[in-house]
Structure 1
Amino acid sequence: MSALARLTATETRLFFREPTIVFFTLAFPPILLVILGLVPAFREPDENGIRMIGLYVPIIIVMSVALFALTSLSQLLATYRDKGVLRRMRTTPVKPRVLLGAQLVMSTVMSVATMLVVLAIGRLAFDVSLPRQLPAYLVAYVLVAVSMFAIGLLVASLAPTGRSASAIGTLLFFPLAFFAGLWVPRATMNDLLRTISDFTPLGAGVQSLQDATAGHGPQLLHLAVMLGWAIVAGGLAARYFRWG
């Protein structure tokens, strides 16, 4: 545990030396929420009493998880393998799997911190309701985080370099963000798009977080989808991941 803690602290310091990654994973989601909240149409309720800003808080939260998984985690691990860091670690008492654990711990802590900031801004600045079903909200958040981190590890396992991992992660991010409702909220999607969204990790995650915020339990379909992505992507990542 002491090796994991020390390596996590080291990886955190290295993370903050990458200003572009830091901005998009930590600062961009809260800034985006503030920008959307300043648009009057997002703050005003529609004929059904629904405020768009409330719908976008879960969307931005899952988007921040995706940014961590597809940019920070995948790019850094692929870069380490490309530069031979993982191979050289095999000759030390600290094994590569400890580095993987440190990356996962750091990404999880950072993403949780971002989630709390987004929830706080939504509540304090725009009067967005906090989750009414907190246990269900946490379960949904954990599942969407695990599924996206598994996909990030899969990208890192297949990408030969850090640059290619960044490119693959970016290509994956935009369709996943679309079906999460970043450009077209799920509530306004047609039946076909909403069905596709239901079977994506971010789409299922957004709906589960929205359900928990409204006081309902997440649908079993959405929980099963996130768990399925975590198992399949995690299994493939474990199968194809190369340390050196």
Structure 2
Amino acid sequence: MTWIFALAVPPLLLIVFGAIPAFREADPALGGLRVIDLYAPILVAVGVTILAVYSLPQQFAGYRERGVLRRMRTTPVRPPALLGALLLLFTALGVCTLALVLVLARLAYGVPLPAAPLAYASAYLLTVLALFSLGLLVAALAPSATSASAVGLVLFFSLAFFGGLWIPRDRMSDVLRAASDLTPVGAGVQSLQDAAAGGWPSLLSILVLMGWTIVAGGSAARLFRWE
């Protein structure tokens, strides 16, 4: 039931961060923004990350390990159809997490809704594609659900760090920020923040997200095993 974890963690973290008084005060060093304003897009990306690199690989590797995919070859429902259904399910769960975080942030802490909704949706879609491609690569390589969970957990904490979960990207050093820009979560968070402020994702962020999608997705397609 890792999808419950994905739905619950971002809103709960938002409540925890929102309970810190200093996070609700405008910071001149952040251009007048509050730390809680920065965390809304970060937590949206964290929700996608949980689903993409932890839940999805574990689920699909488990199906392969138990022989579910092999048995499906003898039925009218083909394994690729199951993969498509899982991707749609986890995408829908990610959208639910997005809505929960944005609504809670707005109602509880006065965080403005994205100033450029179309740009925000585009940034979110690019982030989903990049992270799900990475998750499919993990699913392709992991021999079991246990190994998929272990790899996914390490990936999640690493990506969450570069996405700014522990140190918001605006407060990272220049070197760490540059490294973050090249990760799918870092580029995704930057794209979401740009759209939240009324702009469009930068060319660098778009290229990084598309690069992860093409490389990880292409590798997953070549290496994927149904049995």
TM-score by length of 1: 0.91
Do residues 37 (structure 1) and 29 (structure 2) align? no
Q: Distance in 2 between matches of 1:83 and 1:109?
A: 26
Do residues 164 (structure 1) and 142 (structure 2) align? no
Do residues 54 (structure 1) and 48 (structure 2) align? no
Q: Distance in 1 between matches of 2:166 and 2:12?
A: 16
Give the corresponding residue for 1:230.
Answer: 213
Contact 2:54-2:156 at 8 Å conserved across structures: no
Contact 2:52-2:132 at 8 Å conserved across structures: yes
Gaps of 5+ in 1: 1-17
Contact 2:3-2:93 at 8 Å conserved across structures: no
Once superposed, which parts of structure 1, at least 4 consecutive aligned residues long, lie more than 4 Å away? none
- Pick the aligned partner of 1:67 from 50, 54, 64: 50
Give the corresponding residue for 1:22.
Answer: 3
User: What is the letter of the counterpart of residue 57 of structure 2?
Assistant: S
User: What is the letter of the counterpart of residue 37 of structure 1?
Assistant: G
For residues 121-136 of structure 1, the aligned pairs below 5 Å read 121-136=104-119
Q: Distance in 2 between matches of 1:81 and 1:214?
A: 43
How many positions carry a matched residue from both structures?
A: 225
Show CA shifts across 1:144-194 (max 9, x none).
Answer: 001111111100000000000000001111111111001111111111111
Q: Distance in 2 between matches of 1:60 and 1:201?
A: 14
Deviation at 1:125, TM superposition (A): 0.6
Q: Distance in 1 between matches of 2:69 and 2:206?
A: 34
Q: Distance in 2 between matches of 1:31 and 1:139?
A: 25
User: What is the letter of the counterpart of residue 94 of structure 1?
Assistant: V
TM-score by length of 2: 0.97
Q: Distance in 1 between matches of 2:4 and 2:225?
A: 29
Deviation at 1:222, TM superposition (A): 0.1
- Pick the aligned partner of 1:82 from 44, 48, 65: 65
